[in-house]
Amino acid sequence: MNDMTIEDYLAQGGKLTSPGNVPPRYRGELLRLMASFVDSELAGAAGFADTINDAPGIGNRIAAAKITAEKLDHAGRVLAVMGEFGADTRRYDDRHEWAARVARDADLAAARRGDDMRLSVFHYPVQGYVDAVVLNVLMGLATVVQLDEMKRVSYAPLADTFREIAPREARHVELGLNGLRQIVARDDGRAEAVAAIQYWMPKVEATFGQAGSKRFDTLARFGLRHTENEKLRQIWTQRVRDLLLPMGLA
């Protein structure tokens, strides 16, 4: 009744559903992928936390607090999936200084650094409220594009988790755009926003990885990736332009 290998099954779009039925190599790539998301959310939240105090007005401070809290919650949800693979979820969070950052003018390109799996953009320090809002909008848009891709992963419990997370991450972008509209209403705010966009654009762009990445082929074979890095980068670039143009920022 069943002579299909797991590899064939995955190649045909099959879904895996528990740690008991994932092949070893798949498991490693899946855990790595989850660790990258968890570490990025934890580092992102740690970097954004100061914004709660920096934001002008109670409404903006609530928005910053909500974004910070939900990013931590999203990290917790994906970490729970890792926990089903034996990862020590309690100890996991203690492994790193999530708020640690490199110098503002350091050049990491897309390289990972230290021994956590956060995306390189989360190694750069945020400088003040406008900077944080710009990073939140640009990286938030990237996260939405990346989650659209990740909702399709072949590990069903993770795909379900990403489907729960995606609308809330999209809401973070909306909150960020509200903040950005307030900022650009003032001339000095606009100048600051333009400088922040210049600083963060290439760093967020780098999070999409290299064109023609070798790992992509492995991940695609496992059904862990579907759309190439370059294509995702283009979708993101287009969305950034569509949103920033009306504000005179693109």
Partner 1 sequence: MSRFLPLQITDIRRDTRDAVVVTLRPRPEDAAAFDFTQGQYLTFRHSFDGEELRRSYSICAGRDEGFLRVGIKRVDGGAFSTWANEELAPGMTIEAMPPMGRFFTEINPSAARQYLGFAGGSGITPLLSIIKTTLSREPKSQFTLVYANRGINSIMFREELEDLKNSYLGRLSVIHILETEGQEIDLFTGRIDAEKMTALFENWIDPASVDTAFICGPEPMMLTIADSLKKAGLDEAQIKFELFASGQPGRAKKKAVSKDAVHAGDMTEAVVTLDGATRAFRMPKQGESLLDAALAADMDVPYACKAGVCSTCRAKVLEGEAEMAINHALEDYEVAQGYVLTCQCYPLTDRIVVSYDE
Q: Which residues bind partner 1 (CB under 8 A)?
A: 1-2, 4, 6, 8-9, 12-25, 27-28, 31-32, 83-91, 112, 115, 151-152, 156-157, 159-160, 163
Confirm if 130 and 60 have CB atoms less than 8 A apart.
no
Least Å distance, CB 32 to partner 1, is 7
Least Å distance, CB 67 to partner 1, is 25
Q: What is the DSSP annotation of 149-214?
A: HHTT-SBHHHHHHHHHHHHHHHHHHHHHHHHHHHHHTSHHHHHHHHHHHHHHHHHHHGGG--TT-H
Residue the block writes with tokens 């995702």: 232
Q: Is the CB of 225 or the CB of 233 nearer to partner 1?
A: 225
Least Å distance, CB 93 to partner 1, is 13
Least Å distance, CB 74 to partner 1, is 16
Confirm if 133 and 180 have CB atoms less than 8 A apart.
yes
Of 149, 158, 126, 136, nearest to 26 by C-alpha is: 158
Least Å distance, CB 234 to partner 1, is 23
Q: Is the CB of 114 or the CB of 212 nearer to partner 1?
A: 114
Q: Is the CB of 24 or the CB of 57 nearer to partner 1?
A: 24
Q: Is the CB of 19 or the CB of 76 nearer to partner 1?
A: 19
Q: Is the CB of 8 or the CB of 97 nearer to partner 1?
A: 8
Least Å distance, CB 199 to partner 1, is 27
SS3 assignment, position 137: helix
Residue 9's Cα: distance from chain center in Å? 29
Q: Is the CB of 9 or the CB of 199 nearer to partner 1?
A: 9
Q: How far apart are the first and last CA of the chain?
A: 58
Least Å distance, CB 86 to partner 1, is 3
Q: Is 136 exposed, middle or buried (0-12, 13-18, 19+ CB in 10 A)?
A: buried
Q: Is the CB of 4 or the CB of 250 nearer to partner 1?
A: 4
Distance CA 126, CA 140 (A): 15
